[in-house]
Amino acid sequence: GAVVSQHPSRVICKSGTSVKIECRSLDFQATTMFWYRQFPKQSLMLMATSNEGSKATYEQGVEKDKFLINHASLTLSTLTVTSAHPEDSSFYICSARDSGRDTYGYTFGSGTRLTVV
């Protein structure tokens, strides 16, 4: 089946620094990837849609200058949390869909637990 790899799985950073999270589709090409954020005991909230070769589309209320998304190839999207603050601490998950195999639906990465101290 479709596999999405996400790294790192866990990261701790100091306030004011930037953190990059990678999301890779391992066995398929993904023109579109999605970035979600999940707070404890809450649902996944869509942050942005990452489009290969073009600008990402951000959901209302998500700061595009804080959460930089780059989708430079058909298998890699990155999310950079810039000038991180403790309130950015959360669980971030990426997702992609193999449009060539519709029966698989959406596949998710294993998530990244970000802690800003």
Partner 1 sequence: KQEVTQIPAALSVPEGENLVLNCSFTDSAIYNLQWFRQDPGKGLTSLLLIQSSQREQTSGRLNASLDKSSGRSTLYIAASQPGDSATYLCAVLNQAGTALIFGKGTTLSVSS
Q: What is the DSSP string of the chain?
A: ---EEEE-SEEEE-TT--EEEEEEESSS--SEEEEEEE-TTS-EEEEEEEETTS--EEPTT--TTTEEEEEEETTEEEEEE-S--GGG-EEEEEEEE-TT-GGG-EEE---EEEEE-
Of 15 and 110, CB closest to partner 1 = 110
Of 9 and 83, CB closest to partner 1 = 9
Check residue 108 for interaction with partner 1 (CB under 8 A). yes
Check residue 110 for interaction with partner 1 (CB under 8 A). yes
Residues 52-91 binding partner 1 (CB under 8 A) are 91
Query: Site residues (CB under 8 A) for partner 1?
Result: 6, 32, 34, 41-44, 46, 49, 91, 93, 95, 103-111, 113
